[in-house]
Structures are given as structure tokens and as C-alpha cells.
Amino acid sequence: MKRALLLVLILCFLSCKKEQKDINPINLIDFYTTNDLDFSVFNNPKYKEYYNKKYDKNIFFNHYFKVWNTTDNAITNEEWDEYFNYDLMVKKSSCFSGNYQIHTNEIINSIKSNLPIDRTTFLNQYGITTDLVNLRALPTNEFCLKNVQNAGEGYPFDYLQSSSLAIASPVHILNKTKDNLWYFVDTNNNKGWVKSDKIALVSEKQKAEIQKMDFAITTKDNQVINNGKISVKFNVGTLLPTKKGQLLIPIKNINNLLVWDTITTNNENIKPFPIEFNKENVKTTLNTLLNGKYTWGGLNGGRDCSSTLKDFYTSFGIWLPRNSSQQAKFGKQYNLIGTLKEKEQIIVNEGIPFLSTVYKKGHIMMYVGEKENNPLIFHNVWGIKAYVKDDDLSKISKLRNKFGLKGIHKVNNNEVQTRYEISRAVITSIEPAYRINNLNNFRTEIYMENMKTLTIFSE
């Protein structure tokens, strides 16, 4: 009898171990929808000063048009080294193009020879984007992928992609390449290089007129409108000036100067700016962004973590800086200290759902309330950092397609680092991968160990 019982236990153990080995760890992450969120907070008197209101668009536009209202044309030594020097930009490791081939001397020389060398000459002109454009760290469309074999590297992490700019974004033009095909610009996001054919020059009179106009905001991605002559596609967070009920579309004439085309539209997803911060609008905007693809710096039309939050808040006339570390400082900050449970309680007790960000180095998230005292977050995330207790890379590589692993490299004698790819905007618990840690041979990054701050938005 004892032998039979022992045999059953052994078979059960082996069966459980096999089942556990075949589990895709991504399936152990709880993904939520907006229907799982508690929107009754919008009726809570505790938050009446934050909800069911329109935020001050003048405060927003003070940030948005700041680059049009400055005469500062300085390029600091640090910026010159970053944006005008290929060698300093890539000094830590070589760049690989999109085909995963290392930058050739031809590519490198074409970039270097096109960069301006006169640090004292500035264009000091103003412009507006005429399309969705990439903001680049160097004047080239070549990718700069690094450590392509490693977890968290390779595509879409192009080190030359700083951000993207929506159509009708104001820019301050500071310099240009020798071939005149690229402008070095200051924007309301940060500085960088843009294709000059996507910029129309703006006069002082036009600058003043535009800043007095009413604007419309796009509240859904991939909105295409046309007037029979031109067709334009807009995404969430795109601002366009309006006049007499028509959208003004910036184009450039043969002299590179701004002229307007007009489009009349009754598209329900293009609304007067800003929209009210209420339950219906917040839920609709979250649903629009949910499951949107992750790409670094807006590469190929996607979003990263910080641009996802920026586009969400822009719809409501709430200004956020572009990168995650700046966003974490924009408002009333609480340091997340203590045990993991104590950090969670700070977020639940002090956080304002849908108006709070939670930050860990390199990643920003929106606090969207709690479920059974467990904080939930909305974030656009590439993947979960994970470590596999197996030093045989060939074994791990065979799991890549099955388990969505991206990048593998040894970090010590006993573990291989990888990523469980999510690569989209999701709602999860604040510790999304806690159940993966219960699997044999797996451990994942503990989010809460690296959480730094909770920030409450404040005008």
C-alpha cells in the first residue's frame, strides 16, 4: 500500500513538473479591461476638484508653444556632442542597421560629412510640421540598434529615434545639414533632427495668429479625413487649429512657407479641445489606447510608455513632458519607500485614479485604481524582464517562439536573461508577473522593488 501511494506521488510530481514546464509564462499575467476598473470614483466628493472638469487650455498652450516664444538659439556643449558628433553618440558600442548589419564606413561617412561644423551659425527660424515626423538624434533614417543579441535590445530600440511629432507641431529651427535635407530643431518634446521637407516656415504674424486660434483634438487613432484634394490621418493627441468650423491643415508652398488647406468634417472622434475629464471620456480614451503597439520613440507609428501617457493626457488639456523621468517629476511627488506592501499602500492611499503616475527607472505607468486593495496600472510595455535558471542557451532559444521570449544572454554562470514580450498597452496589476515566479527555473523582475515615485498631476 505504501509503495503504491509513493508511486502515485512520484507520478503526480513528474506530471505537475511537466505541466509547469509547458506553461507559457505570459498566460500567467492577469490582463484587465476598462470594465474591470472602478469608475465610480468620478462621483466621489473626495476628488471633485480633479474630475468632471475641463482643464485650463491656456496652461497647456504655454508649454505647447514655448518654442515659438523664445529667442534662445543656444546649442550647449552637451547637445553639440550628442546631436552633431557620430563618434560620441555611438562610442559605447557599434550601431547595427535595420538589417542587423553593422554600420558600414559608407553609412558612417555619409552622416559625418553632412553634419554642420560651424557652431556659431544659427538659423533661428520658426516652423510647423506638415506631417507626422520622426525626431532623430542624428540626421539619418538609418537605425542604430545595439547589442542585438541581448534581451531588451535590437528592434524596436533604435538609439537614433528620439520621439515623433504630430502634424501641426511647432518647432524652432536652429541649424541644418550641409545638403539642406535635415533641420536641427527645438520642440515642445526635446531637440533633434527632422526632415526639412516636412517643415513649413512660419512668419511672426502667423505665429501670433495661430496661438489665438481655437483647436480640435483627435480622440481616436487612425482617423482619416479628406477634402477631395488631400487625405490626412490623425492619431489620439493630435491638435489642429480650426477656423469657422473647419480644420486647418498645414502645408508648404514652393517657397517653403506655411499656407493652410481646409477640411470640413463631422467626425465624432475629432472634438473641440480640450475634452472634459469625466468618466465617459476617460474610459473611451483608455479603450482607444489599450492594446496599441509598443515601439521605441514612436518608431513606425507606435508608442512607448511615456508617449502613451502624454497622448492620453493631451486630449484633456493636461500637459506632460515627453520622457518618463521628466513626467515623474511633473506634479506632487511621493517617494515610494518601505516594504513592497507599504509601497502599495502609499499608492492606494495617496494616488488619484487616472491622474497619477508611478515611476521606476526607464518606465512610467498610470495608476487606474485598485481591485481588492491591489493597485492596477495602465502602461505600454515591451516585456517583462526575466531570468531563467539554465546555462544552456540552445535549450532556452528553442522556447523563444513558444513562450514569446525576446533576446537571450548569460548574466552569470547559472542564469540567462530574457524578456517575456508583451509589446502593447495593457492594464495589469502593479506586480504583473508575480505568478511567473512560482514556476520552476524562472524568476522575473519585481516591479515594486524598483518603484521610485508616485506623482499626482497638479496644474
pLDDT digits (tens, 9 = 90+) for 410-435: 777 778 888 888 999 999 999 998 88
Q: What is the arrangement of strands in the sheet containing 214-218, beginning at the earlier edge strand?
A: 258-263, 246-252, 239-243, 214-218, 270-272
Are residue 41 and residue 153 in the same domain, yes or no?
Answer: no
Are residue 34 and residue 102 in the same domain, yes or no?
Answer: no
Q: Are strands 231-234 and 374-388 parallel, antiparallel or unpaired?
A: unpaired
Are residue 341 and residue 443 in the same domain, yes or no?
Answer: yes
- Residue span of the structural domain in which 86 resides: 57-212
pLDDT at 292: 96
Q: Are strands 199-201 and 214-218 parallel, antiparallel or unpaired?
A: unpaired
What's the mean per-residue pLDDT of the chain? Answer: 89
Are residue 292 and residue 358 in the same domain, yes or no?
Answer: yes
340 in a structural domain: yes
Closest CA to 97 of 163, 45, 142: 142
pLDDT at 363: 95
Are residue 297 and residue 444 in the same domain, yes or no?
Answer: yes
124 in a structural domain: yes
Among 161, 180, 212, the domain boundary falls at 212
- Render pLDDT for 152-198 as a digit per residue (tens, 0 to 9): 888 899 999 999 999 999 999 999 999 999 999 999 989 999 999 99
Closest CA to 133 of 96, 170, 90: 170
Whichever domain contains 445, its CATH number is 3.90.1720.10
Residue 261 phi/psi, 5-degree rounding, is -105, 160
Are residue 99 and residue 187 in the same domain, yes or no?
Answer: yes
Are residue 48 and residue 62 in the same domain, yes or no?
Answer: no
Among 212, 231, 253, the domain boundary falls at 212
- Render pLDDT for 222-238 as a digit per residue (tens, 0 to 9): 999 888 888 888 999 99
Closest CA to 224 of 237, 233, 235: 233
Are residue 93 and residue 77 in the same domain, yes or no?
Answer: yes
CA distances from 222 to 181, 270, 288, 302, 422 (A): 28, 11, 10, 12, 22
265 in a structural domain: no
Whichever domain contains 199, its CATH number is 2.30.30.40
Closest CA to 302 of 419, 428, 161: 161
Are residue 206 and residue 315 in the same domain, yes or no?
Answer: no
In this prediction, what percent of the chain has a pLDDT beyond 70?
90
First to last CA, the chain: 73
Q: Are 104 and 134 in contact (CB under 8 A)?
A: no
Are residue 179 and residue 108 in the same domain, yes or no?
Answer: yes
Q: Are 203 and 153 in contact (CB under 8 A)?
A: no
419 in a structural domain: yes
Are residue 158 and residue 300 in the same domain, yes or no?
Answer: no
Among 212, 242, 267, the domain boundary falls at 212
**Rounded average pLDDT over 301-322:** 95
User: Is residue 181 helix, strand or coil?
Assistant: coil
Q: How many domains does the chain have?
A: 2
